[in-house]
Amino acid sequence: MSKQAGIHVFGVLATIAFTVSATASVKLPEGMTREQAAAIGIVVPEEPAAASAVPAAAPTKAPLPPQRGDTKPRASGAAKPAPKKPPRDFPVIRAAPNAAPDAPLIMGPYSGADIVPDQVLFFADLPQDRLRAIAARNGLTVLAISPLDNLGVAMVHARLPYGTSPQAAIDQLERDQSIAWAQPNHIYWLLGNSREKGLAMHGLTPPASGAVSGRIVMIDSPVDEGNAALAGARLSQQVFGSTSAPAAHGTAIAEILVGTGAFPGVAQGAELVSLAAFSKDSKGDWYGYTPDLARALDAAIALGPNVANLSFATRDHDKVVGKLIEKLDQSGTCIAAAAGNDPHYSVLFPGRLDVTLAVTAIDERQRIYTNASRGEKVDIAAWGVGMNAAVPGGRRNVTGTSFATAIVSGSMLRMPACNGGRAPAAMRAAIRSDALDLGEPGTDFTFGAGLFTLGQASLAPVAASAAAARRGPEVADNSWAVVSLAGAVMAVFAAILLLLWRRRRQDQRSD
């Protein structure tokens, strides 16, 4: 063999040795099979039969996230327990860039912009010509004008002139006394093993076909209405985004709620109205924007549902969306919202609103989902890790607080407070009361009140006081009217008596 050939052979042998060594070092995350690894582009060789097991290093514990945006008031004198450390994290499987189409759908932290940088919204109860005149006066290009009947205003969606920031435009618009308010166009993102095993953890069993009544609205990405897992379901859809093309997230949520196939929904038999308010961008990601979500929520209020499922989030408070969600609560709708999939951020909006029940996700061993948001606004924990669900074209394992939220919202239809009583405040109190504590005793920043179950408080008939509390403002208004009328009658009666008394005195003097 020549010297050059020998060098070539040596190089080939060295390359093979390095490749084998590098491949042998690949380890699967806990709970991942070789088939799952292969599906997302990870190749792991068979281990030698004589190889000894090496204990895996204990995963690090995530620090408690900063409590940014937490504004929920605590009861006077109620001390919040010291934050507890989260339990051992559930392994997260992240798909490779060229993952197979059936790779797990795992909803993780969002790293994009929070608002649309070249747009602004303003709201006023004015005719369209005046709204357009205001926009023109401020150098804005009107993109759309939508009435929000339940708020009594019209929403103007406009593009900013080049070089103008949203905040500068908002400041200028709000100097006009005819405008109710102005705000940014917020960007929202979706948050989102047999089914029987996961439901059993909550003390739930799949309902018999048609056993659950009532109406649920879900605001999400479009549902695959023709999916076999939804055949025969009482499902309808209205589109507020830019496309009706079915999406994995919306379809999975719908099946968890009202599925009719081998994986029946927790509210099978109920009516589901999908208000599709999310649109797909050029990269294939789904996002929602304030105008579409506002119109969807306005429609939801008009539908008068028993339950609403909100499996989406953004970081900042959105004024118009917040107002509409409060109106939805005041109408008697029980609202479940995803806590969020960002462990470095507290509970996201709208989950942190007082009128929503914020749901976090756990696995079948009752461990917190690694990417779940933490904070004092977490209300309850439900199964949402590694759930097998329907997607367009088949099935997929899904993970995220979105899917845990659907377990809770679908179960709400079994509660008298939501289905008949229309008392959302009573619902929230009952669910917190029935929760099974997870971890150290007491409510905490990781699991909230604990594991979601439908116990005695949740299944009890709604007390008259609870229904009266929900109708408080309405009753108060009527009572004030009655008191005012009674006062007016008494005043008239007193005036008549005074007039009679004066006349009698005059008669006595004349005598």
Q: List, for residues 200-250, the tens digit of each pLDDT value.
A: 888 887 776 667 899 999 999 999 999 999 999 999 999 998 889 999 999
Average pLDDT (151-167) is: 96
Q: List Cβ neighbours of 277 (8 Å cut-off, separation of 6 or more).
A: 219, 220, 240, 241, 288, 292, 293, 295, 296
Q: Which of 403, 101, 406 is nearest to 258 (CA)?
A: 406
pLDDT value at position 161?
A: 95
Task: Look at 6-15, 403-412, 438-447 and tell me which has the smallest mean pLDDT.
Answer: 6-15
pLDDT value at position 366?
A: 93
The tens digit of pLDDT for each residue in 37-63 reads: 444 444 444 443 333 333 333 333 344
Average pLDDT for the chain: 79
Q: Which of 271, 272, 258, 274 is nearest to 206 (CA)?
A: 258
Q: What is the DSSP letter of 436?
A: B
The tens digit of pLDDT for each residue in 424-479 reads: 999 999 999 999 999 778 999 999 999 999 999 999 998 754 555 554 444 334 44
Burial class (CB in 10 A: 0-12, 13-18, 19+), 121: buried
Cβ–Cβ < 8 Å for 262, 291:
no
pLDDT value at position 238?
A: 97
pLDDT value at position 78?
A: 41
Cβ–Cβ < 8 Å for 347, 339:
yes
Percent residues over pLDDT 70 in the chain: 70
Query: What band does 198 get if pLDDT is binned at 50, 70 and 90?
Result: confident
pLDDT value at position 456?
A: 92
Q: Where are the beta strands (DSSP E) in 40-185?
A: 105-106, 119-124, 141-148, 153-159, 181-183
Run of H or E including 19: helix 3-24
pLDDT value at position 286?
A: 92
pLDDT value at position 226?
A: 95
pLDDT value at position 293?
A: 97
Domains recognised in the chain with CATH numbers: 15-48 (no CATH), 105-110+188-462 (3.40.50.200), 119-185 (3.30.70.60)
pLDDT value at position 505?
A: 66
pTM, rounded to two decimals: 0.70
The tens digit of pLDDT for each residue in 76-130 reads: 334 434 444 444 333 333 333 333 345 555 555 666 789 999 999 999 999 999 9
Q: Which of 409, 427, 407 is nearest to 418 (CA)?
A: 427
Burial class (CB in 10 A: 0-12, 13-18, 19+), 45: exposed
- Which amino acid, residue 278? F
Cβ–Cβ < 8 Å for 451, 381:
yes
- Cα 332 from Cα 50, distance rounded (Å): 64
Cβ–Cβ < 8 Å for 190, 164:
no
The tens digit of pLDDT for each residue in 366-393 reads: 999 999 999 999 999 999 999 999 999 9
Q: Which is more confident, 198 or 448? A: 448
Q: Which two tokens stand for residue 165?
A: 């920031």
Q: How far is CA 64 from CA 13, 61, 83, 343, 498, in A?
A: 50, 9, 8, 8, 72
DSSP letters, 317-339, are: --HHHHHHHHHHHHTT-EEEEE-
288 pLDDT exceeds 90? yes
The tens digit of pLDDT for each residue in 128-148 reads: 999 999 999 999 999 999 999
- The vertex-87 CA angle with 82 and 88, nearest 5°, equals 150
Q: Which is more confident, 188 or 28? A: 188
Cβ–Cβ < 8 Å for 185, 273:
no
Cα distance from N-terminal residue to C-terminal residue, the chain = 153
Q: List Cβ neighbours of 266 (8 Å cut-off, separation of 6 or more).
A: 199, 204, 206, 207, 256, 257, 406, 407, 410, 411
Q: Which is more confident, 76 or 199? A: 199
| HSE-CB for 349 with a 13 A CA cutoff | 22
Q: What is the DSSP letter of 221?
A: S
